[in-house]
Amino acid sequence: MSTIANIAANNQLILTSPNGTQFTNNTNIPKELAIFAIYHAAQYDGKPTTATNLSVSDFLTPMRKLIYKIHNPAINELTDVSYIMKSAKGTAMHSGMEAALEWYGGYKQEIRSEKTIDGVIVSGKFDLIDLETNTLKDLKHVSSYAYKKLMLDIEKIKDMDNSMSIKERLEYIPTYTKFQLQMSMYKWLNPELSLNPYGDIIFSLNDGGGMERYPIDNFHRFPLLLDEEIEEFVVNHLTELKQHLADGTLPLCSDAERGWKGPEFKLQRISPTNGTFTTVRGSKFTDEVKFREFCRKSARIGDVEISTPATATMCNYCSFSSICDQPL
Ligand code: SF4
């Protein structure tokens, strides 16, 4: 049964945002918070994405998802308000920050600029420029999981082949490259502002910094990519997109793009020391054939096999997950 049919059957509350998008509230988020979420999630002043009108964020989106967005298919499944709560809090924080900095002075904020490349309008709106140093800054209200991924990417940079293209870096160090690429594209869109060749991402973690493992409010400085590198990336991306649209093809999202984590298998056994189930040493596998081989040689009567299915975390937050047929 579709979500809409379910809603009709259960007489559930449907919330309609200012731009007409409907949401379910299946986790019973308090009504006032749900209203807050649908109100702020609708605050986007750019034009809708089409084959000839793309935003900076569209260049950070997986190609498959971007093509779905351009085709704008009818989606019967409604998004649950719980999936937009974090981004709504982020949008509200942006508005609050903008008002505070406007009052304080010394900042240029929220200017939308555009360039036309190969017949496609590419536009983007930066958060702020600190006029004291002419430095681009962008506020991110992200989870400690996203922040951890950034830390892991930074670790990998020292072993990175510097001749990698931006597209290859998006696979190798995706979180770092997306932040860097976004700010670099804003700089590329605004050559007249003569911005510094680096930019800051201001982080405000939205889930308590992972039990204070990470500082909740802090920043990271990113060297910005050269305008020529950005221009080449944009042209290549548009060429690839146009080819898919012309051929009617839909590329698969990569593992990094959909946050794919493979299945895991392990064997548990009652510990003679504390009487609870514990994982048998050496029994953890991501390959089921190897796990079965291990079980054949080492399993004992009473052992329990635990298998965790594959997951694709980003698909949970993708608006096209109900129509996407990429196998898990
Ligand atoms: S549902 Fe997952 S695989 Fe499909 S377009 Fe969205 S992110 Fe990609």
306-319 pLDDT, tens digit per residue, is: 999 999 988 988 88
Q: Is the CB of 63 under 6 A from ligand 1?
A: no
On whether residue 179 sits in a domain, the answer given is yes
Q: How confident is the model at residue 44 (pLDDT cuts 50, 70, 90)?
A: low
For the chain, give the percent of residues with pLDDT over 70: 95
Ligand 1 atom 2: the closest Cα is on which residue?
Answer: 315
Give domain status of residue 231, yes or no. Answer: yes
pLDDT digits (tens, 9 = 90+) for 251-281: 999 998 998 999 999 999 998 888 899 999 9
- 132 assigned to some structural domain: yes
266 and 220 housed in the same domain: no
**Among 11-15, 80-84, 93-97, 232-236, which is the least confidently predicted range?**
11-15
Instruction: Check pocket membership of 259 for ligand 1, CB cut-off 6 A.
Output: no
Atom of ligand 1 nearest to the CA of 253: 8
Same domain? For 274 and 239 the reply is: no
Q: Which of 251, 269, 296 lies at the terminal end of a domain, its last residue?
A: 251
Tell me how far the alpha carbon of residue 243 lies from the centroid of ligand 1, in angstroms. Answer: 20
- 136 and 219 share a domain? yes
Same domain? 297 vs 237:
no
128 alpha carbon, distance to own chain's centre:
21
Same domain, 122 and 268: no
Ligand 1 contact, 326 CB (< 6 A)? yes
- Is 236 inside a domain boundary? yes
Pair 106, 129: CB distance under 8 Å: no
Regarding whether 205 and 145 lie in a shared domain, the answer is: yes
Residue with tokens 């980003």: 314
Taking the centre of ligand 1 as the mean of its atom positions, its distance from the CA of residue 249, in whole angstroms, is: 15
Q: At 5, give phi and psi (nearest 5°).
A: -65, -40
Q: Classify residue 5: in a domain, yes or no.
A: no
User: Are residues 273 and 192 part of one domain?
Assistant: no
Average pLDDT, the chain: 91
Are residues 189 and 288 located together in one domain of the fold? no
Among the three residues 251, 274, 295, which one is the final residue of a domain in this structure? 251
For residue 84, tell me if it sits in a domain. Answer: no
Whether the CB of 64 sits within 6 Å of ligand 1: yes
The total number of structural domains in the chain stands at 2
Q: Which domain holds residue 64?
A: 50-69+110-251
Ligand 1: which of 58, 315, 316, 317 to mutate, most ligand atoms within 8 Å of CB? 315
Reply yes or no on whether the pLDDT at 4 is more than 70.
Answer: no
Ligand 1: distance of its center to the CA of 222 in Å? 28
Residue range 82-132, pLDDT digits in tens: 888 988 999 999 999 999 999 999 999 988 999 999 999 999 999 999 999
pLDDT of 9 reads 45
Give the residue, by CA position, lying nearest to ligand 1 atom 1. 321
Which of the listed residues 200, 235, 251 is the one where a domain comes to its end? 251
Q: Is the CB of 224 under 6 A from ligand 1?
A: no
74, part of any domain? no
Q: Do both 242 and 117 map to the same domain? A: yes
What pLDDT, on the 0 to 100 scale, is given for residue 208? 76
Residues 156 and 301 in one domain: no
| Burial of 151 per CB tally in 10 Å (0-12, 13-18, 19+) | middle
Confirm whether 323 is domain-assigned: no
